[in-house]
Amino acid sequence: MDIPVNETERQLYYIEKCREIVEGLEKEYGRKLTCGIFTFGCQMNFHDSEKIRASLERMGFVPTDTEDADFVLYNTCTVRENANERVYGRLGQIKALKKKRNDRMIIALCGCMMQEPHVIEKIRKSYGYVDIVFGTHNIYKMAELLYRRLTSGSQIIDIWKEAKDIVEDVPADRKFSFKAGVNIMYGCNNFCSYCIVPYVRGRERSREPEDIVKEVKQYVEDGAKEVMLLGQNVNSYGKNLERDVTFAGLLKMMEDIPGLERIRFMTSHPKDLSDELIKVMAESDRICKHIHLPLQSGSSRILKAMNRHYTKEQYLELVDKLKAAMPDISITTDIIVGFPGEDDDDLEETLDVVRKAGFDSAFTFQYSKRTGTPAAAMENQVSEEDMTRRFNRLLEVVQETATARTARFEGKTAGVLVEDINRQDKSMVTGRLENNTVVHFKGDASLIGKIVDVRLDECKGFYYIGSAVDS
């Protein structure tokens, strides 16, 4: 059979070829082959890992949670320097496991970290026992790369500087059958001065809306009640398409899909948040009343240095618009402390926004210098001592304000999409409200995947303890 030209058919061809090899190894080893996938980073990385896992299962691999496996893959993140160090640490540890298996283990690396040239050079020089290396633009080629490694025995490194195709219709093995993540676009055009993402994910590329709708419909037919639309900046969806389609327009298409009960999305850049999007959210009974709107800093001076393209006042105006249209909306955010040039007055500006915006929660970070970004070369780098002091102060204020904001639903009844058995108390289940707040209540595995009416009895800061309401 000739190798197909169509990329999806081509990868399905290589999945089948790998399956034939795996079957032969099963007979040789007298057992099934195992695979362990370990993911660092964002929701998009986890979604990519779902597709890789599905392809491996089609080949005959059995997933495992341990690195003592026949095939081990690390899907990497490079947003923060310590993410890279964690991967190098894991590679150092796994070398002994590979030696124990007489080099029969295959080790693969993919994701954002692999798009950095100095990382590839380090892997070539110091980690020659790594078998397969690929990046963010050719995730879908994993089956083909594995086949090349299995048939050649040599190290395979396949890194693209930019994307050539958007290939999404390869198998995906979702962790939860009742909810799914869907990539609607890739890359980022914003070039925030602290961020490496545009350099490793490339420029913005939106998928055609019909392809997205088709994928979501398939997930719903397979039992999904909720989808999360994913992109580095979903608010700029459609800008590179030939047709005139906005993110708000795409959301309207999602609303027309029968059986889809909840629609989520992330992440939104404040500079591109439109009045049209706010209106569509407010009028919808399917789009979750939750938005993740990264602030990063409350100081307009620092925001300018970050190249964020909005001011403190403009951000707060957006928050006011959102709450005027949807009074109960939950707004979550990201905040960085210790950006170069930041002083205590800038921190006070950030704290002022935290108090006025009333975030339901905030992901807080100490600035991490990333080689290759403009911020890394800036003067007036903040000392570790000052950064830690300001970070601890920010945590205090976030906890105080978020606790008060989250508690506004105490005593009310709301729908909870049950996700799993509670880890600490097996007599309870855990799920999420429409606004993404976690709720724990008495229940069993039969409730998983269902939306259950729950009375929110007690707010525990960032989560609720509730009681199921008899229907």
Average pLDDT over residues 111-139: 90
Contact 253, 287 (CB under 8 A): no
Q: What is the dihedral of CA 438, 443, 449, 452, to 10 degrees?
A: -70
Closest of 102, 94, 129 to residue 29, by C-alpha: 102
**The pLDDT value given to residue 2:** 81
Closest of 138, 119, 150 to residue 22, by C-alpha: 150
CA angle 150, 143, 138 (to 5 degrees): 120
Q: What's the whole-model pTM score?
A: 0.81
C-alpha 446/C-alpha 305 separation (Å) is 52
**The pLDDT value given to residue 164:** 62
- The answer for residues whose C-beta is within 8 angstroms of residue 319's C-beta and 6 or more apart is 293, 331, 356, 357, 358
**The pLDDT value given to residue 186:** 87
Average pLDDT over residues 310-315: 98
The backbone torsions φ and ψ at residue 2, rounded to the nearest 5 degrees and listed phi first, read -70, 150
Distances (CA, A) of 267 to 151, 235, 264, 297: 41, 8, 10, 17
Per-residue model confidence as pLDDT tens digits over 181-223: 899 998 889 999 998 888 887 888 899 999 999 999 999 999 9
Average pLDDT over residues 398-405: 93
Asked whether the predicted pLDDT for residue 172 surpasses 80, the reply is no
Instruction: Tally Cβ neighbours within 10 Å of residue 373.
Output: 18
Asked whether the predicted pLDDT for residue 471 surpasses 90, the reply is no
For the ranges 101-115, 160-174, 313-327, 382-396, the lowest mean pLDDT is seen at 160-174
Asked whether the predicted pLDDT for residue 152 surpasses 70, the reply is yes
**The pLDDT value given to residue 139:** 84
